[in-house]
Amino acid sequence: AQRVTQPEKLLSVFKGAPVELKCNYSYSGSPELFWYVQYSRQRLQLLLRHISRESIKGFTADLNKGETSFHLKKPFAQEEDSAMYYCALHGSSNTGKLIFGQGTTLQVKP
Amino acid sequence: SAVISQKPSRDICQRGTSLTIQCQVDSQVTMMFWYRQQPGQSLTLIATANQGSEATYESGFVIDKFPISRPNLTFSTLTVSNMSPEDSSIYLCSGRRTETQYFGPGTRLLVL
């Protein structure tokens, strides 16, 4: 079965602290993994995707197939990073649909 | 990127009635989807909206309850039929272009 697990519902850190939002997936083939972010009163938007291997707003995520993980990391959190973060899996290029994790609320305190 | 708009942005409805949500994309997308986000929950895919043919529904969702249309590449509608309070959710439309999914702002539905 295809599944995405985000074990933390809430992650609270102080400004300047490192951040790691965990994401584990279950998929038998070669997945595409994404991180989406939803800031307060804004729509869901793509943050980054594993195949791009890019850094967006200081965030990075590496796909670890051995551990079936795609954790989102940032070395120094900023208050404006406070948002809801969703990890998502695209399991088949034929269907295009995304499977979302439960989401993690990141709260960055001043 | 793709800009996606939805109408209405929110509504309060009586049980037993139906509501149709419209989704408009600013330019062509290959695929369109409808998701539901219940209070405190993640996004759950309802169906894939297929242009000119019946939508493809996920397990637990049926056409009689959630009829979907997609008459062209940039427009789709989702109807929530015979509503009950359990249908109170945010309904989101998304479009896929060049391997990226873009989301609308959502329609917040409250059923009394």
> Which tens digits make up the pLDDT trace of A54-87?
888 999 998 998 999 999 999 999 999 999 999 9
Closest Cα in chain B to A86: B42
Alpha-carbon gap, residue A37 to B79, rounded angstroms: 27
Residue B51 DSSP class = T
Whether residue B101 and residue A96 make contact (CB cut-off 8 A), yes or no, is yes
- pLDDT band with cut points at 50, 70 and 90 for residue A94: low
Nearest to A98 among B101, B104, B105 (CB): B101
pLDDT of residue A92: 66
Q: Which residue has the tokens 């249908």?
A: B87
- Residues from chain A that touch B48, judged by Cβ atoms under 8 A, are 95-97
Residue with tokens 């297929």: B50
Inform me whether the pLDDT recorded for A10 exceeds 80. Answer: yes
In angstroms, the CA B97 to CA B28 distance is 8
User: Which of B42, B92, B105 lies at the smallest CB-CB distance from A102?
Assistant: B42
pLDDT in tens, A31-43: 889 999 999 989 9
